Structure 1
Amino acid sequence: MLDMDHQAAFIACKEACLNADTQHLRWQARRSVDHGAVTNSTDKITPVERPDLEPKLSAYQQAMRERLLAAPVVSTPEPWQSVALVPVGGLLGIGFASHPEDRRDLVMVVSRDGHGLFDAVTGEKIARDREPGPEDETPDSMPDMSCPGLGPITGSRVHIAGLFGGGLHTTTADGWYLEVVTPAWPNDRVLLSRDGGLPHSGPHGERWWHIFHSNYSEFRAAGFSPSGQTIAVATSSDISLWTRKTGQGHSSRAEH
């Protein structure tokens, strides 16, 4: 057993070692290791400048954006006429079909509440399926993005464009164009034109028209029917339809 003098010396030595360890730890805390290189914490670190996440618009692009933003919503020109604005809550997508009897345009609507079929000339609902089979509820379960027809087109399948993808015709053979632009995201705008599409150098209302602004619901799809006789614009809450006046020929079939 240690006597009092030796015990006091042992305690003093132990305290000295602890003090030395504490000083060493404090010294280490004032240093940092960066990728294997030791640097003093007092060294100044140059802040890294973040590059622009997106390049700025050119003068040409900015001018085009301002033209689109300045164009108000207007009525469609002759020979197009508005048919209907049909409320459809939870709309997911739309597609076109032809009536088997007179070949007039039909619009199929897929929503969270089932499927519906509308006459594109009158806007009238002509068929409804509130509980389609689980495999047919939405078009994403099929490689061709289609859903089974209903009513007069039962037995066929209709390609659907909207939330899950797909697309509708954007031009007609006789020179009409339909474009979806977003100069102020996330509100999409639909343009109808006869000038070949963007950049629309002429005055708004002469050869190009801003016919729809999706500033109240989420945009789903827009396009011509395959016949070129109908325009449909769908959002998450409704579908808008336009048709050509009676007497337009069948030489205006739509194209992608």
Structure 2
Amino acid sequence: MISDYQRRLREQFLSAPVIAPPAPWRPVLDRRTPIGGLLGIGFALAPDDGRDLVMVVSVDGHGLFDAVTGEKIARDRDPDPDTSTPDAEPDLSCPGLGPLARTRVRIAGLFGGGLHTTTIDGWTLEVVSPEWPHDRVLLSADGGMPHDGPHGEGWWHVFDSNYSTLRAAGFSPSGRTLAVATSSDLTLWTRPAPDTAPAGEAHP
């Protein structure tokens, strides 16, 4: 039996429509990137300029995307079967590809693991399931749970996986990229490099 508070919270989440994250976040592409059979994703930094890269592991192989432009910069359709999925390693990693060929990338998704759920300047991500098994991704600007205040001011319902299974959701270690991966696609948002001021607070 759920409490009145839990019931109100569930109704609050169910009534909130999907809206875009606020500035300074912007979508990397104007649509979701379809990736059939997506198993998991991981982040790494480009060795040349330090920009965020996103590695995708799927049943059709491995792919590497530029997290700022959404461009696919490397593809391996036939990875080594022994290392093609992250469950082959204790740290849930896979060999990198393209500019990351000499590194390993930790992957979060079907086999476990997770992405960052907070940033240094106070953005927070939470996955809720008021209508299980469909997951909703909530973004908060104050470093806390989106339980108080009106939707669209302190917190935003940015993604509803009512059509596919959520694999992973979170920030890159740099805090510049927000990613949501499902079993069928990848959605990315990006922003300039964060500083240590709390999210939503004016900077001098």
2:13 maps to what in 1? 68
The number of residue pairs the alignment matches comes to 195
Q: Is the 8 A contact 1:217 1:236 kept in 2?
A: yes
d(CA) in 2 for partners of 1:71 and 1:82?
20
Flag the structure with more relative contact order, 1 or 2, with Cα contacts below 8 A and sequence separation at least 6.
2
Query: Which secondary structure does the structure 2 equivalent of 1:240 belong to?
Result: strand
Structure 2 contact 118–143 (Cα < 8 Å) conserved: no
Give 1 or 2 for the bigger CA radius of gyration: 1
Task: Indicate yes or no: 2:30 matched with 1:58.
Answer: no
- Report the alpha carbon displacement of residue 135 of structure 1 after superposing the two structures with TM: 1.0
Aligned-pair CA distance for 1:134: 1.1
Q: Distance in 2 between matches of 1:67 and 1:224?
A: 24
Instruction: Answer whether contact 2:42 2:105 (CA < 8 A) is retained.
Output: yes
Secondary structure of 2:22's match? coil
Tell me the alpha carbon deviations over residues 36-79 of structure 1, each in whole angstroms, 9 at most, x when there is no partner.
Answer: xxxxxxxxxxxxxxxxxxxx100011011110111000011010
1:105 aligns with 2:75: no
Amino acid at match of 1:74: I
Most deviating of 188-197 and 233-242? 188-197
By how many angstroms is 1:196 displaced? 3.0
Residue 196 (structure 1) aligned to one of 140, 143, 147: 143
Q: Is the 8 A contact 2:46 2:52 kept in 1?
A: yes
State how far apart, in whole Å, the 2-side matches of 1:250 and 1:86 are: 29
1:122 equivalenced with 2:61 (yes/no): no
SS in 2 for 1:136: coil
Question: What amino acid is aligned across from residue 61 of structure 1 in structure 2?
Answer: Q
Which structure 2 segments of 5+ residues have no match?
198-204
Deviation at residue 96 of structure 1 after TM alignment: 0.2
Instruction: Pick one of 175, 179, 200 that aligns with 1:228.
Output: 175
1:45 corresponds in structure 2 to: none
Q: CA RMSD of the aligned region, Å? A: 1.2
> Which residue pairs with 1:209 in the alignment?
156
Task: Check conservation: 1:95, 1:107, Cα contact below 8 A.
Answer: yes
What residue is the counterpart of 1:4 in the other structure?
none
Is 2:175–2:194's contact at 8 Å kept on the other side of the alignment?
A: no
Matched AA of 2:75: R
Instruction: Please point out which of 88, 106, 110 is paired with 1:159.
Output: 106
1: distance between equivalents of 2:14 and 2:35?
28
CA contact (8 A) 1:97 1:158 kept: yes
Correspondence 1:81 to 2:26: yes
* Residue of structure 1 in register with 2:82 after alignment: 135
| Identical-pair percentage | 69
Runs of 4+ in 1 over 3 A off after TM superposition: 248-252
Secondary structure in structure 1 of the residue aligned to 2:127: strand
CA distance in 1, matches of 2:150, 2:82: 48
| SS of the residue 1:206 aligns to | coil
Alignment CA distance shift 1:197-1:251 (3 Å) = closer
Partner of 1:149: 96
Report the Cα offset of residue 133 of structure 1. Answer: 0.5
Given candidates 143, 147, 169, the residue that maps to 2:116 is: 169
